[in-house]
Structure 1
Amino acid sequence: MKEFDCLILKRFNKPEQIRNYLDSLGYFNQQWDSISGVMTVYPGTRSVVIYETVSGFPDDSTSGLPPMDMPAPYDAGKINSRASQIARFMAQSGYPFASVAVQIAESGSRDSLFVKFIIRADQKSFFSSPVLSGETTTSRRILMNDVLFRDGDLFNIDKVEQTEKMLKSRSYIADVVAGPPVIPATDKSHPDSVQKISVPLTIVDRSGLGLDGAIGLETVRGGPQLQGNLNFSFLNLFHAGESVQFEYAGDKSRQRFNINAVKPWVFNIPVTIGAGAGMEVIKNQYGFVFGKLKFIGEIGPEWRAGVGMNVNETTPSRDSIGEYGTFYGADLILFSIPEENRAGKFSSELLIETGSGLAKKARRYSRSHFDFSGGLHFPLLKNQALLTRLVSKHLITNEKTLLPAEMYRVGGHNSIRGYAENEHPFRTIAYGQLEYLLYFIKTGAVFIFTDGGVGFRQGIGIHSDHRFLMGYGLGVRLPSKLGSLEIGWARNYQERRGMGRIHFQIKNTLADINTKIQSGF
């Protein structure tokens, strides 16, 4: 017997367990020897499956079933998986209650077997009208846009699963559970030969007001300084999946106000409109106002793609800081719907945005950009995870002077931690984030992190005006009655004095959902 098999057998404590394990792998002619006082197992030759048959149903009904790879060593687990594959194929073809029996027999030659799969199924089934239930305020018309089956459609389990995924991808849906298919009371309006199947969908949606915010305490510049922001969110108040978010952030020298609104299913088609506007004022430096409008279409339950238009105006307080100007641009956008990170769950995110436009100052300049961000949440063991994120943004223009609001700004909780919020403006920035999380409940974890990257204020090159940034720290995230609570400490690698920065943040569920919506807008 192979050494690898011997190592596996050491896991078992009883002879019956070893026999069952060897039987499951096709060693049906085992020999056991205990005369010498030491149990010796001779497994013999492993049986091989040389062909299969699928019976109990007309051949044309199973003609699309992919064949099994043969010849192949016998494996009970693979035989069971094949039976499940056949049952699922039948559920995709209008037979949700089909069962599959398995018979194994010798093919005539030694150690050669054939497997016979016998399908037992009732008559072909069709969907009845969708049944929606649960704690919902969202209008049935909006919910039905994501239900992929209608009364009279041939039953297909794929449509049920895709419906569940589509509904769960909506910001205004908290949870969806598709119940098992059932045969409702006889509908006399249809012939007796037609069997209708009902699939109940239990839906829990989100709606209401959300309030959240964050406070940052910095102790590295000669004394403590406070920074903060406040978000006020409305979600699904008019039962149409809409969302609105107001944000205010500021300190002694900076004031920023944003408003964003999103409306899905415009004109009852899978298109979402997002609009936003805002302003920023930096004391004794400049004022900046902007507006944006985006149209986002759907590519299945997980992907979105669309176009955007934006305009902004900058007004410096004096000519030495920069030029007065306006910008008009258009963008192409592709992004995935982000999932909540939790223990034991793999998740990912991706955003790609590129565009160009015209800046009108003392003269006209073209301005183009390319933005990329992607992240992965890898579960490790039972209650640990690794969270990684990579961001790269590049602005191309011949303008010699740009105000901070016209560039990419990094620093703070959402980019490179260990620095003040939006502390460093660059034309090109590339950075990564790495977190190691230890979950103590489903969505609560303690974590350590390091963030780092490089930014360029003009062109890209070793001798260009650039700066390396790196921060590190630790924190804890945990759910509370008010929402998700996070307390973190961060410091950058150049700091020699002070205690770094402490961030205290509460994210209300509705506000957090709206923030994720706006990330694609």
Structure 2
Amino acid sequence: MQKASFLLLIIYILFSSELFCQNLHLKVSGNTERETNTIDSLNYLKTHKDYTSISHEVDSLQKRLFRIGYIENELKDITKINDSLFETQIHLKKKFNTIYIHYDKTKIRRSLLESFAKNVFDDYFELEFSKVESTLNYINTKISEEGLPFSKLRLSDIKIKDTSNLSAKLIIESKEKKRTINNIIIKGYEKFPSSYLKHYLKIKPSQVFDLTKIKNKTSQLSNLRFAKEIKPPEVLFSKDSTTLYLYLEKAKSNAFDGFLGFGTNEETNNIEFDGYLNLSLINNLNYGEAFRLQYKSDENDQKTFQADLTLPYLFKSPIGVDLLLRIFKKDSSFTTVNQSLKLHYQINPKHKVYAGLLSTESNNLLTENTSLTISDYKTQFYTLAYEFIKPQPYSLLFPINSKVYLETNFGERKAQNTQEEQSQFLVEAFKIFNLNRKNSIFFRLNGAALNSKTYFENELLRFGGINSIRGFEENSLFSSLFGLINTEYRYQLNNSIYIHSIIDAAYFENKISDTKEKLFGYGFGFGIITQAGLFKFNYANGKSENQKFKLSNSKIHISLIANF
């Protein structure tokens, strides 16, 4: 019997919360059933742990009623009905729907009021009473953006206009003149190129002070490879000046990129190697400059040398220059030299436009010209281009989320005492669709076209390999028009390792050989961030539309990108 009683006591202690804590209940009613329904619609908290919580909830309920227009609501005493129930009554009285706010047009722009109020006049505007609080906060924010961070707003002389409307005066208090940025001090990376402050971030002295806009602008530093923000900007206000402090850090931006590829030659069945080296030096002179050097040698006895230099914000202007030299040699058949000069204008951190000149000269190296399709020629093109880049700086493996580059060239070609108008079009775009933290889909579109009445083999577009359609030899495909799609399904094992599929498709035309063909590439790969850099491995097999699958057509590409 004692054991049974002890067991019942334990069960009662474990399952009866009433023994330790008694919940209190609150009931609020109005003078009428309609008022009670209005109060219940606000979903006030009805269960509380103590009387203090009940008192706070009633006070909060009154304020909510005030915000929606019941400014004359009257609260009766909170009455204790029993040990767990408290009741009170709120008489809502009249509801005011609209307030007519009179303003001083010398202190606030009418256009600002028209952005949120329907009826705006020269000396007053109409506003729903329920929107008063949010509207005053909005107006104060906009005034602060105009260089008055210490301004205060309030409604004065609130009066009853009629049975459902109020009137009031909008008072704007500001004891100082508009604040402008007098000085900008950079901490951490004192040699940060000043032109980027003015033209890239668009922050400069004498600018109207707005801390919110400044924070939004400095967050765009994540788009730059050579600098990053280490803490939010701060501001020092003195009586006559405003000093802005930016906290930056120089980041590793130089990169060395290379890959080694090998596959089986279909004719000799021997293993052949190809590869390239790519060196990128960025901001080593603290000017924001970029220098890239690339050398490529592939299994088709083709060699490419390319050097390009980008100098942003020449003479502290918003204009920059891009210089390029590319030399291509096809065994002992021909060489082609491209020289490019483009001026660019950075619209904002994501958008850039280009205009310039492209010059090409190609020479036939055959001592006996057995090929009628290879000829000496020179071209002069005018270039227009546009670039969009959206980064995702939180990702170490995939720092760029999307990119679009469009280029058009138009001019003429001179060859053997003949002149012919030509045009070129180029598009390159990719996008990463992030499904969740680990899964994503990579989609890339690349294409180019050369429009001309006649064509030479040594002026055709070249593609194929790791940077175009995988599973084919580097630059082994010649075309007058091509378009290709690269897709990858990517799965991140962690922040530094990912695996992916390879599904590529391409279509190209060759006007010289009157060829139209579809190509496909399939495979898989992985990437690992090591102490040396990002190591990539790709295995892909390429085939044409009517060709059977052959294991001997497979290509293995290995690359390493090292930042320093």
**Structure 2 SS opposite 1:160:** helix
Closer, same or farther: CA 439–359 of 1 in aligned 2, 3 Å: same
Distance 1:26 1:285 in 2: 88
Deviations 1:187-237, CA, capped at 9 Å, x for gaps: 5xx3xxxxx443321222346754321111224632322111012333222
Closer, same or farther: CA 499–67 of 1 in aligned 2, 3 Å: same
**Structure 2 SS opposite 1:267:** helix
Distance 2:140 2:265 in 1: 65
Question: Is it true that 1:27 corresponds to 2:75 in the alignment?
Answer: no
Closer, same or farther: CA 224–470 of 1 in aligned 2, 3 Å: same
* Contact 1:206–1:235 (Cα < 8 Å) also in 2: no
Question: Is it true that 1:254 corresponds to 2:254 in the alignment?
Answer: no
Question: Is it true that 1:280 corresponds to 2:328 in the alignment?
Answer: yes
Task: Tell me the TM-score normalized by structure 1.
Answer: 0.73
* Paired position in structure 1 for 2:243: 198
**Structure 2 SS opposite 1:155:** coil
**Structure 1 SS opposite 2:285:** coil
How far residue 429 of structure 1 moved from its aligned partner, in angstroms, is: 0.9
Q: Over alpha carbons, which structure has the higher Rg? A: 2
1:104-119 equivalences under 5 Å are none
Question: Is it true that 1:299 corresponds to 2:347 in the alignment?
Answer: yes
Structure 1, gaps ≥5 residues long = 1-15, 17-22, 33-45, 191-195, 511-521
Q: Which amino acid aligns with 2:147?
A: G
1:235 paired residue among 277, 282, 293: 282
Deviates more, 1:361-370 or 1:332-341: 332-341
**Structure 1 SS opposite 2:391:** coil
Deviates more, 1:347-356 or 1:217-226: 217-226
Structure 2, gaps ≥5 residues long = 1-24, 26-36, 47-64, 70-96, 120-125, 156-160
Question: Is it true that 1:488 corresponds to 2:538 in the alignment?
Answer: yes
1:335-414 equivalences under 5 Å are 335-337=387-389, 339=391, 347-362=401-416, 363-403=418-458, 406-414=459-467
* Contact 1:220–1:497 (Cα < 8 Å) also in 2: no
Give the aligned CA root-mean-square deviation in angstroms: 4.5
Distance 1:89 1:26 in 2: 36
Closer, same or farther: CA 304–149 of 1 in aligned 2, 3 Å: closer
Q: Which amino acid aligns with 2:381?
A: G
**Structure 1 SS opposite 2:315:** helix
Distance 1:472 1:436 in 2: 12
How far residue 153 of structure 1 moved from its aligned partner, in angstroms, is: 3.5
**Structure 2 SS opposite 1:198:** strand
Distance 1:330 1:215 in 2: 36
Question: Is it true that 1:465 corresponds to 2:515 in the alignment?
Answer: yes
Distance 1:242 1:59 in 2: 47
**Structure 2 SS opposite 1:398:** coil
Question: Is it true that 1:476 corresponds to 2:526 in the alignment?
Answer: yes
Deviations 1:224-264, CA, capped at 9 Å, x for gaps: 22111012333222222222222111145122211111111
* Paired position in structure 1 for 2:479: 426
* Paired position in structure 1 for 2:271: 224
Number of aligned residue pairs: give it: 458
**Structure 2 SS opposite 1:127:** coil
Task: Tell me the TM-score normalized by structure 2.
Answer: 0.68
Closer, same or farther: CA 157–143 of 1 in aligned 2, 3 Å: closer
Distance 1:378 1:113 in 2: 52
**Structure 2 SS opposite 1:482:** coil
* Paired position in structure 2 for 1:215: 260
Deviations 1:141-164, CA, capped at 9 Å, x for gaps: 664554534444321246514642
Q: Larger RCO: Structure 1 or Structure 2 (Cα < 8 Å, ≥ 6 residues apart)? A: 1
1:91-240 equivalences under 5 Å are 91-96=144-149, 123=176, 125-135=179-189, 137-140=191-194, 143-146=197-200, 148-157=202-211, 159-161=213-215, 163-164=217-218, 167-171=221-225, 173-176=226-229, 179-184=232-237, 186=238, 190=240, 196-206=241-251, 210-219=255-264, 221=266, 222-240=269-287
Q: Which amino acid aligns with 1:509?
A: N
**Structure 1 SS opposite 2:218:** helix
Distance 1:506 1:174 in 2: 23
Distance 2:174 2:450 in 1: 62
* Contact 1:138–1:236 (Cα < 8 Å) also in 2: no
Q: Which amino acid aligns with 1:27?
A: S
Closer, same or farther: CA 142–249 of 1 in aligned 2, 3 Å: same
* Contact 1:148–1:159 (Cα < 8 Å) also in 2: no
